[in-house]
Amino acid sequence: MMIRATALTKDYGTRRAIENLTFNARKGEILGFLGPNGAGKTTTMRILTGFMPPSSGSVEIGGYDVIENSLEVRRIVGYLPETVPLYSDMTVHEYLEYMGSLRKVPRLEQRINETIEKVELSDRASSYVGALSKGMRQRLGLAQALIHQPEVLILDEPTIGLDPGQVVNFRKLIREIGKDKTVLLSTHILPEAQQICDRVLIINNGHIVAEDTPEQLQARLTGSQRVLVQIRGDSKDVLPIVENIPGVIRAQVRNQDSIEFESLPGKDVRPEVARTLIQRGFDLLQMQNINLSLEEIFLKLTREEPAEITDSQA
């Protein structure tokens, strides 16, 4: 195992940010940390990079304890924090020279050239950092994380604030770099985790609530459908009818003239619902799939195994 985190807990004063997180990452794996804002992703990454100690628990990276062997850990870990401290009055080359010299990178000039080529900034080597686009700045952030050729790369919400084109490029770049590194990446965007990662940990409220491959995650999420139905009439009259249609697992009144229902995985009951309602004399005004929000996805994924609620969070 390249990363081994055991029973990590972090309290900020009386606020418990993460509790008892245990997870591993294999060598060469791209592991995703998926969770909404405030879930505890940044806290975990800061602990992993030795930026701050946990309140309890331990982390080993490449066999080194992040606190006891912090120098070794810094040598094998590259970190792209949520906001990278970049110096706008340095050029791209100067900035990497500076970051590389702090890390005492050997043959730095050659290394800078290799790195800017990898992140596709070679033609910007002499541009001032302040003049770069957001996407370029993020690639420069990645370059500083890669300058010392770390085996492990830790990326905190790396595509946040990029425009859609830049996001696509940046994800491709991470996959490319991840071919020969262990990568831990945090995101609050489900498709991002699915596109980039080999395995995804879902973190909510400081706890790991699910762990899966992107494929299995997808299967668990797209299995069932949620649909909004609007009719001319009273939704209270329609509810019992829809509830009784085979394949419908849950239905509820949305407002006066609409209800929503959820169907069994793998079964599209919409035609049956439409037919039944029309047969019963209702005018069907609208039928619309409802996308799951991230919060709902968490609930869904954790329905079978509810997240542990502890009373120690007060």
Q: Catalog residues that contact ligand ATP under the rule CB under 6 A.
A: 12, 15, 17, 35, 37-43, 157
β-pairing, 258-263 with 226-232? antiparallel
- In terms of CB distance, is 51 or 128 closer to ligand ATP? 51
- In terms of CB distance, is 39 or 177 closer to ligand ATP? 39
Give min distance, CB of 40 to ligand ATP, in A.
4
Residue 132: φ, ψ to 5°: -80, 155
DSSP string, 45-58: HHHHTTSS--SEEE
Give min distance, CB of 154 to ligand ATP, in A.
13
- In terms of CB distance, is 17 or 59 closer to ligand ATP? 17
- In terms of CB distance, is 43 or 159 closer to ligand ATP? 43
Contact 227, 263 (CB under 8 A): yes
- In terms of CB distance, is 186 or 230 closer to ligand ATP? 186
Contact 132, 124 (CB under 8 A): yes
Contact 101, 94 (CB under 8 A): no
Give min distance, CB of 80 to ligand ATP, in A.
14
Tokens of 191: 């498709």
Task: Give the chain's radius of gyration (CA, Å).
Answer: 24
| Eight-class DSSP state of 212 | E
Give min distance, CB of 54 to ligand ATP, in A.
12
Give min distance, CB of 155 to ligand ATP, in A.
12
Tell me which residue of 150, 147, 148, 172 sits closest to 162, measured CA to CA: 172
Q: For 217-259, give the secondary structure using H, E and C.
A: HHHHHHCCCEEEEEEECCHHHHHHHHHCCCCEEEEEEEECCEE
Tell me which residue of 271, 173, 75 sits closest to 185, measured CA to CA: 173
Tell me which residue of 178, 166, 105, 102 sits closest to 140, measured CA to CA: 166
Give min distance, CB of 208 to ligand ATP, in A.
12
Tell me which residue of 39, 38, 62 sits closest to 49, measured CA to CA: 62
Give min distance, CB of 15 to ligand ATP, in A.
5
Give min distance, CB of 294 to ligand ATP, in A.
12
Contact 17, 10 (CB under 8 A): yes
Tell me the C-alpha distance between 72 and 66, whole Å. 8
Contact 1, 63 (CB under 8 A): no
Tell me which residue of 74, 118, 64, 76 sits closest to 96, measured CA to CA: 118
- In terms of CB distance, is 85 or 240 closer to ligand ATP? 85
Give min distance, CB of 23 to ligand ATP, in A.
15
- In terms of CB distance, is 43 or 115 closer to ligand ATP? 43
- In terms of CB distance, is 13 or 164 closer to ligand ATP? 13
